[in-house]
């Protein structure tokens, strides 16, 4: 028995989730955001599976991530790099066929100063105040670029998970205003949650991210999403804690009655958040077992009193998956599903299944 925690990555589920978002998209279809190691699921494996299913547009944060995707998917698909453009990126963009997303007038000037042997995309900020050209800079950008047209014009919703937010309409209108400066250029606005907004807000190429991996919650989450991974760890030891005794560092949990405790080989050294202490959970079979005490670097303690027949060394406990819902676990840890999956480290063995 391996004592390493493991993440079984369900490539078939990820492909199925992408197909669901592709159906919800307009004529532009759905791309795939595979930055941050495909949200912890494995850049090469996920990109290869999605390309095989017909996905032809991929998004990453950095050029080195784009190179990894290119090696996985071959020469056909488009690969966009969100983070901007520096002169040092030019050789990699050229050799790997990457499309940098220009986020500022400075980025535009830098691209214009290169050999310009690779295309670019343009990001317009419509309300995030994060990356992208301000609306009052779009005209200047168009004049600087002259005859050079972007492959894609994109923006990003700030409040798409709330379909009633006035921000969605305001951003959609601002983006339409910016698009007038670049007639005929392909566009991209909707992120994962944007697929649940009105049809005009899903126009162009859409960019599902966490939703591809089964994450997201709220009214914009479509029915039918499946988990992208099952995160499991083995029970190392089972013991009975007596009433009045404490569990873990800081004695943060005191047992009110005799309790069957299981020590599991998973911790914050593997990327499972320490904030889930005394609030998170694992599933042993069909039984939800609460985390007791603080999470250690390598270990978690569970109350397995309700799962006595299964509670033995070598049994595997599910912490993310079909039973241990990603977003429910994230709420218990005081965070979002994004952080739980992207934070999983190299000690967690990835096992890929179709």
Tell which residue, 267, 265, 266, 308, has the closest CA to residue 287.
Answer: 308
Distance CA 291, CA 43 (A): 31
Note the pTM of the prediction, 2 decimals: 0.96
Q: Angle, to 10 degrees, between the axis of helix 138-145 and the axis of helix 105-112?
A: 0
| Structural domains of the chain, with CATH | 31-213 (3.20.20.10), 229-353 (2.40.37.10)
Q: Please, is 146 exposed, middle or buried when counting C-beta atoms within 10 Å of its C-beta (0-12, 13-18, 19+)?
A: exposed
Pick from 234, 259, 235, 265: which is nearest to 246 by CA? 259
- What is the chain's alpha carbon radius of gyration, rounded to the nearest angstrom? 23
CA dihedral in degrees (348, 350, 351, 354; nearest 10)? 140
Residue environment code for 75-96, b if the CB has 16+ CB neighbours within 10 A, otherwise e: eebbbbbbbbbeeebbebbeeb
Cβ atoms of 71 and 95 closer than 8 Å: no
Tokens standing for 227? 């988990």
Phi, psi at 107, each rounded to 5°: -60, -40
Per-residue confidence of the chain (354 residues) as pLDDT tens digits?
589 999 999 999 999 999 999 999 989 999 999 999 999 999 999 999 999 999 999 999 999 999 999 999 999 999 999 999 999 999 999 999 999 999 999 999 999 999 888 999 999 999 999 999 999 999 999 999 999 999 999 999 999 999 999 999 999 999 999 999 999 999 999 999 999 999 989 999 999 999 999 999 999 999 999 999 999 999 999 999 999 999 999 999 999 999 999 999 999 999 999 999 999 999 999 999 999 999 999 999 999 999 999 999 999 999 999 999 999 999 999 999 999 999 999 999 999 998
The residue whose two tokens read 């990835």 is 350
> What residue has token string 């309790």?
259
Which residues participate in catalysis according to the annotation? 35, 249
**17 closest CA partner among 204, 230, 195:** 195
Phi, psi of 298 (to 5 degrees): -120, -5
Residue with tokens 């790997």: 96
Report the alpha-carbon distance of residue 51 to residue 344 in Å, rounded.
24
The residues with which 246 forms a beta bridge, in sequence order, are: 254
């Amino acid at each position: 028995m391996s004592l390493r925690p493991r993440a079984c990555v369900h490539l078939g589920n990820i492909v199925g989730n992408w197909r669901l978002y592709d159906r919800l998209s307009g004529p532009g279809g759905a791309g795939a955001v595979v930055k941050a190691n495909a949200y912890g699921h494995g850049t090469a494996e996920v990109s290869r599976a999605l390309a095989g299913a017909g996905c032809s547009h991929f998004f990453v944060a950095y050029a080195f991530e784009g190179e990894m995707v290119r090696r996985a998917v071959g020469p056909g698909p488009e690969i966009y790099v969100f983070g901007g453009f520096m002169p040092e990126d030019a050789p990699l963009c050229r050799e790997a066929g990457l499309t940098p997303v220009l986020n500022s007038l400075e980025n535009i000037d830098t691209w214009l100063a290169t050999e310009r042997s690779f295309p670019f995309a343009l990001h317009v900020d419509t309300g995030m105040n994060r990356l992208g050209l301000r609306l009052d800079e779009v005209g200047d950008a168009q004049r600087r670029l002259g005859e050079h047209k972007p492959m894609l014009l994109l923006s990003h919703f700030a409040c798409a998970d709330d379909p009633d937010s006035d921000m969605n309409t305001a951003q959609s209108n601002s983006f339409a205003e910016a698009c007038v400066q670049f007639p005929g250029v392909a566009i991209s606005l909707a992120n994962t949650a944007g697929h649940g907004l009105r049809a005009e807000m899903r126009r162009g190429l859409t960019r599902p991210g966490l939703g591809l991996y089964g994450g997201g919650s709220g009214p914009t989450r479509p029915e039918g999403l499946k988990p992208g991974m099952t995160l499991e760890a083995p029970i190392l030891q089972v013991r009975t804690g007596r009433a009045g005794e404490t569990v873990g560092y800081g004695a943060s949990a005191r047992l009110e009655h005799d309790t069957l405790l299981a020590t599991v080989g998973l911790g914050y050294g593997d990327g499972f958040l320490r904030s889930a202490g005394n609030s998170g959970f694992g599933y042993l079979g069909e039984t939800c077992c609460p985390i007791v005490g603080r999470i250690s670097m390598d270990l978690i303690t569970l109350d397995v009193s309700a799962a006595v027949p299964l509670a033995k060394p070598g049994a595997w406990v599910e912490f993310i998956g079909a039973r241990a819902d990603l977003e429910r676990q994230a709420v218990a840890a005081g965070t979002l599903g994004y952080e739980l999956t992207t934070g999983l480290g190299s000690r967690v063995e990835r096992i890929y299944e179709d």
